[in-house]
Amino acid sequence: MPSAPAGTLYRGHEGMWSWVAHRVTGVLIFFFLLVHVLDTSLVRVSPQAYNDVIGTYKNPIMGLGEAGLVAAIVFHAFNGIRIILVDFWAKGPKYQKRMLWIALALWVVAMAGFLPRHLMNVFGGTDMAETTTEKPVIASPRDPYKRRKTTRGNYELYSWVFMRASGVLLIVLIFGHLFVNLMVGDGVHAIDFAFVGGKWSSPFWQVWDLLMLWLAMLHGTNGVRTVINDYAERDGVRMTLKVVLYLAAVITVVLGTLVIFTFTPCPTGEPADLLPAFCSA
C-alpha cells in the first residue's frame, strides 16, 4: 500500500504555483492599500505634512519597491483574467496552462513598457524642489486531509461572482491610476499636494478614485477572508482575524471616502508654492 505523500501541499506545476502567487500578490496589494489610504489622508492635515511624507518615498529604495508593487498588481490582474476565463469559458480548463504562459508573456511586456520609464524617473527624475513649481492637473482548493464544513449558501456564490466582476473593473481603474501617477510627466517625482489638488479638483477623478477605493477594499477584504478561512484552523483564531480584517476595511473605506469628499485643493493660510496653480489665479 503506497504511503501518503509527505511535505507541503504545494507540489509544483503551473496551476498550483500561479494559485500561490495570486494569493501572495493579492495579500501584499491589500496591505499596501491600507497604508496608501492612510498616507493619502494627510492631505486633510496640511499640504506640508503630505509633501513631507510623500517626499520620504522619493528615493531609489522606495522606487524599486514601487516597481515591485506594480509587478505584483500587473501579475494579479492578468492572472485574474486567466482565472475568469477558466471559470466561464467552456474550454478554459483545457487551456489553463497555455493561458498562464500567455498571462506571463503579457506581464513581461507590460513591465518592459513600465520599468524603463519608471526607473528613469526614480534615478534621473527632477528633484522635489523643482517639481513643486509644476502644478499638473490631472473558489480555492483546501487541504484534503483536514476539510472543514463550508458554507454553501448564496453568500459564497455572490462573493465569487463579485470577485470576478470587480476584478475586471479594477484592472481599468487601477491601470488608469498607475498610468497617471507614475507614467505621465515626471512620474513619482511629480506627486505632491499640488498634484493631488489638481487631480481631485476634477469630479471625474474624484469618482474614479472613490470607485477604485471601494471596489479594491471589498475585493481585497473578500480575498483575505478566503485566505483566513483556508489557513486558520481554529475557530477562535479565524473569527479574531476576520474581525480585525473587517474593522480595518471599514475604517479604511470610511477614511478614504471622507478624505476625497472633504478635500480642499486651496486651503486658506497655506503657502502658494505648495498649492495648485489655479489657487492663485
Per-residue model confidence as pLDDT tens digits over 50-101: 999 888 888 889 889 999 999 999 999 999 999 999 888 988 888 888 999 9
pTM above 0.85, yes or no: no
Which residues are within 8 A (CB) of 192 and not within 5 positions of it... i.e. 6 or more apart? 47, 50, 51, 54, 55, 128, 131, 132, 274
Residue 43 · residue 196 · CB < 8 Å: yes
d(CA 109, CA 111): 6
Is a pLDDT exceeding 70 seen at residue 152? no
What ranges do the domains of the chain cover?
14-133+162-280
Q: Rounded mean pLDDT of 217-231?
A: 92
CA angle, corner 157, sides to 155 and 162, nearest 5? 90
Half-sphere exposure of 67 (CA within 13 A, CB side): 21
**What CATH class has 14-133+162-280?**
mainly alpha
